[in-house]
Amino acid sequence: MNIPNTLTLLRIFFVPILVAAVVQGNTALPFRVEGLSNEMLALGIFLCAAFTDLLDGYLARRWNQVTTVGMLLDPIADKLLISAALISLVQVQLVPGWMAILIIGREFAVSGLRAIAASEGYTIKASELGKTKMVTQVIAVSLILLAVDFPLLASWATFALWGTMVFAVVSALQYFSKFWRKVDESIKSRRRGELLQMEKERQKAAMRAAMTSRRRRPRRV
């Protein structure tokens, strides 16, 4: 287990702690710092987890430690972190449920597209919009948590949340466009090849049947 993969697992470990800090409200937690609200504690946990997302990728590339396990775990950890944060904020009525569903649904839809593309031999890389979406998600969640103790930030938090939703939808459309251009054309080309091969096999079978029929005809004396 290398350091980048350990950081990815650490990000997954942060998820239940983040959820507990958000949904427990003013309830004292065993790991709560004296004088620090649960929202500020949740913010610190969330930012630490988000930082590991930047650090593990950087270290994996820097030290040439990119592994299959890391490539599988990293996007799962990202989606768990963002999904857990949004669902927890919906639970405490800080985020509208429909917005959370839209953003989380986008993550699952894009993951499905990437899985289908991978099965066809294509890799759909993260776009610039997709990377921007992740940054806006971190900013939006951070501002929403800050706005609990600093109400003046509420309008900025709402603006960031709407920006996150817009980036999520636009980047999803971009991924769908890449999918149809590459994968759908690949599937159609493969299907045409299979149909042509089937037609060739049918013609060969017809020719063999005709030749067999000729051999079996009785010769005239």
Q: What is the arithmetic mean of pLDDT over 79-101?
A: 91
Please tell me which residue, 55 or 101, carries the higher pLDDT value: 101
Question: What own/partner pairs with CB < 8 Å and gap ≥ 24 does 67-70 have?
Answer: 67/2, 67/4, 67/5, 69/5, 70/2, 70/4, 70/5, 70/8
Please tell me which residue, 214 or 8, carries the higher pLDDT value: 8
Q: What is the pLDDT of residue 186?
A: 67
- pTM over cut 0.85: no
* pLDDT of 36 strictly over 80: no
Task: Give per-residue pLDDT as tens, 145-190.
Answer: 999 889 999 999 999 999 888 888 888 888 787 777 766 666 666 6
Would you say 56 and 2 are in contact if contact means Cβ atoms under 8 Å apart?
Answer: no
Task: Give per-residue pLDDT as tens, 119-154.
Answer: 766 666 666 666 677 888 999 999 999 998 899 999
CB atoms within 10 A of CB 75: 15
Q: What is the pLDDT of residue 197?
A: 77
> Residue 53 has which token pair?
């997302």
Q: What is the pLDDT of residue 122?
A: 67
Domains and their CATH numbers in the chain: 3-189 (1.20.120.1760)
